[in-house]
Amino acid sequence: MKVIKTVYFTVFLILINICGLFAQPSQPADAGPPLEPPGGPIDSYLLVLIIAALLLGMVVIYKNKIKKASV
């Protein structure tokens, strides 16, 4: 059953990526030099993101330990 879910999930992701590729607008022939992408590095709230990632990792590890202990 787990293999079937994995296959469906993989096919779903591939289809979503293909649809995204088809949805891109075409570039005009004489567009000139490429435009700069809009800036926006993740600088704000970086500490909050790191703390959230650590907490999530701790919760996942804790739940796995509880699951193994009950089996």
- Write the pLDDT tens digit of every residue in 50-64: 999 999 999 999 998
In a domain, 31, yes or no: no
Q: How far apart are the first and last CA of the chain?
A: 21
Cα 57 to Cα 54: distance, rounded to the nearest angstrom:
5
Cα 71 to Cα 68: distance, rounded to the nearest angstrom:
5
Tell me the pLDDT tens digit for each residue of 16-63.
776 655 555 666 666 667 666 666 666 778 888 899 999 999 999 999
Domain extent for 51? 45-71
Cα 49 to Cα 55: distance, rounded to the nearest angstrom:
10
Domain count, the chain: 1
Strands annotated E in 1-71: none
In a domain, 61, yes or no: yes
Per the CB < 8 A criterion, the answer to whether 33 and 26 are in contact is no
